[in-house]
Amino acid sequence: MHQPPLIDQLYETYLCDDDISSFTQAVSERYTPGTLERVSQIGGRMSRRGAILSLGHLGGYDSNAAMGRALNDADRGVRLLAESGIREIWCRAGDEQQRRQLRLIMRMNASQRHEEAIDRASTLVTQSPWFAEVWNQRAIAHFSIDCYADSIRDCHQALEINPYHFGAAAGMGQCFLEQDDAMAALDCFRRALNLNPNMEGVRAQVVHLERTLEGK
């Protein structure tokens, strides 16, 4: 009887015991991130799921493209694991101090301290202009205080650096909606949905805007 690949066996064990620490430890001892990226593209369904779950916990920002491609995988399980994992990948650019600053900015946004988030993010993007998630977090803060043009610029910059950032594309669409620019909003939402077809809220926006624009 043909034995399934090791990654399948490890993933099946994880599904049974729900021990992510043991799973990632076992995977890290046997696979490199580069190998996991290859498996995520050419492996069977269970292999791809195991590889993407692993990369979400073990991969660095270098795995962003592989995770981004997995958002359009034929298997819904792979797509959902990729959507969760890629958000973690986006926060792993830079060194530990820069990542710590990003986490602080994210907490500021979560607690509605948006002006503080903008100030701290502005300092960080000056120091690390290639850190896409910092631009995205500043975009969120700008949107929250109704500075839509500033938010659009920050979303655009995040997408320039990280073309897989579906959150920035969707956020830019929301900004254009607030500016009553339905066509530009539709373009952004379509881009976000192309990157991540699992965004049902964005899909609903696309359908609504298409119907609205067709009626004009």
pLDDT digits 0-9 by tens, 140-154? 999 999 999 999 999
Other Cβ atoms less than 10 A from the Cβ of 60: the count is 11
Report mean pLDDT in 10-residue bins for the chain, 216 residues.
Answer: 87 96 97 97 96 97 97 97 96 94 98 98 96 98 98 98 98 97 97 96 95 81
Question: Which of 19, 24, 90 has the alpha carbon at shortest distance from 53?
Answer: 24
Task: Please tell me the total count of domains within the chain.
Answer: 2
Please tell me whether residues 119 and 35 are part of one structural domain.
Answer: no
What string of DSSP letters covers 129-196? TT-HHHHHHHHHHHHHTT-HHHHHHHHHHHHHH-TT-HHHHHHHHHHHHHTT-HHHHHHHHHHHHHH-
Please tell me whether residues 136 and 64 are part of one structural domain.
Answer: no
User: Which distant-in-sequence residues (6+ apart) come within 8 Å of 164 by Cβ?
Assistant: 64, 65, 67, 68, 71, 86, 195
Please tell me whether residues 126 and 198 are part of one structural domain.
Answer: yes
User: For residue 116, what pLDDT is reported?
Assistant: 98
Please say which residue of 90, 118, 148 terminates a domain: 90
Please tell me whether residues 41 and 146 are part of one structural domain.
Answer: no
Other Cβ atoms less than 10 A from the Cβ of 172: the count is 28
Please say which residue of 40, 60, 90 terminates a domain: 90
> For residue 58, how many C-alpha atoms fall within 13 Å in the half-sphere facing its CB?
24
Helix (H/G/I), strand (E/B), else coil: 73: coil
Please tell me whether residues 62 and 103 are part of one structural domain.
Answer: no
Please tell me whether residues 123 and 177 are part of one structural domain.
Answer: yes
Its pTM stands at: 0.93
User: For residue 1, what pLDDT is reported?
Assistant: 57
Domain limits for position 119: 96-214
Output the domain CATH number for residue 43. 1.25.10
Please tell me whether residues 80 and 118 are part of one structural domain.
Answer: no
pLDDT digits (tens, 9 = 90+) for 146-194: 999 999 999 999 999 999 999 999 999 999 999 999 999 999 999 999 9
